[in-house]
A = this chain, B = another copy of it.
Amino acid sequence: MAITGSGISLDRLSPTPIFQQIKSILEGAIASGELAAHQRIPSERELSAALGVSRMTLRQALLELMSDGILYSRSGKGTYVAERKIEQPLQRLSSFTQDIASRGMRPASQVLAQELLSAPLELAGALQIPPGSEIVRIRRLRLADEQPLALETSHLPHSLCPGVLNCDLTRTSLYEVLRTEYGVVLGSAKQTIEASQPVAEERLLLRLPEGVPVLRIHRLTSTVDGRLVEFVRSVYRGDRYQLHVELR
């Protein structure tokens, strides 16, 4: 198989951990269809030897992919690619990048704005910071398989992520940067969801045909220890996106 055979290799000097790199490689292979559902992947010993890492390190990557529902394993038999479950996401708090990847598409972004501004009253209230504090505003057109899918505007307190203005968020998940660069681990979020008509600018950017409505989603995200991290306004194309929720 390609992963063991090809020249894919790890960057041991990179600041991103080895097991993260392995996760990305496997996720890519699954998203691209190189690894199909229920297909067996090479054994842990085989893979770790091929990649030149210890089995424990390889295993850390596999375990996370399993807990994400992307792989499953049978003791004594092997590790397999899970069925692509459309139903899966969104009991969990996932980034656009994860969400789209788990639907078997390639996520990407086009950064429209990445700037500092002074928090207006309503934003400061939502994020519980003093009005006028520095806020990072990141506006991205979100693509799935190169097609515009959503328009997303994130607001974060600048104190939480100084220097994020210089990050290239075209290919990288903002949540990934928050976690690896700033140690910000997201815990929970509150969302409100509504159907609405797009405004002219949204219709233009999303290349929306006449009459197609959008899903407008507001999200307030906090860390595991209760600090408010970001307020996001998203606008999803109604004809290409479905939200999945599990209730209890």
| A residues apposed to B, CB below 8 Å | 38, 56, 66-67, 69, 72, 74-75, 80, 82-83, 85, 87, 89-93, 183, 185, 187-197, 211-215, 223-226, 236, 238-239, 241-248
Contacts and interface: CB of A to CB of B under 8 A. Distances in A.
Contact of A211 (B193, B197, B239, B246): B197
A30 to B, nearest CB: 13
Contacts of A82: 187, 224-225
Contact of A195 (B80, B213, B225, B248): B213
* Shortest Cβ-Cβ A-B pairs, 7 listed: A213-B213, A195-B238, A195-B195, A72-B224, A93-B247, A193-B243, A195-B215
A69 B187 contact: yes
Nearest to A56: B56
Contact of A185 (B72, B189, B197): B72
Contact of A243 (B75, B194, B211, B225): B194
A80 B185 CA distance: 13
A31 B246 CA distance: 25
A215 B245 CA distance: 14
B246 A191 contact: yes
Given A72-B187, A188-B69, A196-B238, A91 B246 contact: yes
Could you say how many copies of this chain the assembly holds?
2
A75 B188 contact: no
Contacts of A239: 196
Given A82-B187, A187-B69, A193 B245 contact: yes
Given A194-B238, A242-B194, A225 B72 contact: yes
A202 to B, nearest CB: 12
A91 B80 CA distance: 24
Contacts of A238: 194-196, 213
A91 B247 contact: yes
Contacts of A215: 193-195
A174 to B, nearest CB: 16
A70 B56 CA distance: 24
B225 A38 contact: yes
A211 B242 CA distance: 20
